Amino acid sequence: QSVLTQPPSASGTPGQRVTISCSGRRSNIGSNHVYWYQQLPGAAPKLVIYSSSQRPSGVPDRFSGSKSGTSASLAISGLRSDDEADYYCAAWDDSLRGGVFGGGTKLTVL
């Protein structure tokens, strides 16, 4: 069982807005930045959100992140078929003195 909790699946139709949640503890999300990774089938993960709400260059502004207390969320608006992927949240955990990932959310574009 992962330290960070994500729903196993999410779905939406093209053009819709979907949100993926990530729940943690004070020692991880509550105290540190949250990162979101997109993993396309058969590929390495790609950073899409850093410092809870910042987008790396090249990531479209359809992707946004937020954090409140011990929870975080990733929102994808204007859903496209090529957004279909697994999405993972991650954070440093001060108690464990290590990194933790969520179990991942498989996003399906219907």
Partner 1 sequence: EVQLVESGGGLVQPGGSLRLSCVASGFTFSSSWMGWVRQAPGKGLEWVANIKHDGSEKYYVDSVKGRFTISRDNAQNSLFLQMNSLRAEDTAVYFCASGPYYDVRFDDWGQGTLVTVSS
**Would you tell me which residues interact with partner 1 (CB under 8 A)?**
2, 32-33, 35, 37, 39, 44-47, 50-51, 56, 86, 88, 90-92, 96-104
> By the 8 A CB rule, do 93 and 85 touch?
no
Question: C-beta of 14: minimal distance to partner 1 in Å?
Answer: 26
Give the nearer residue to partner 1 in terms of CB position, either 28 or 64: 28
Minimum gap (Å) between residue 94 Cβ and partner 1: 10
Q: Shortest CA distance to 88 belongs to which of 39, 54, 55? A: 39
Structure tokens at 52: 């809870």
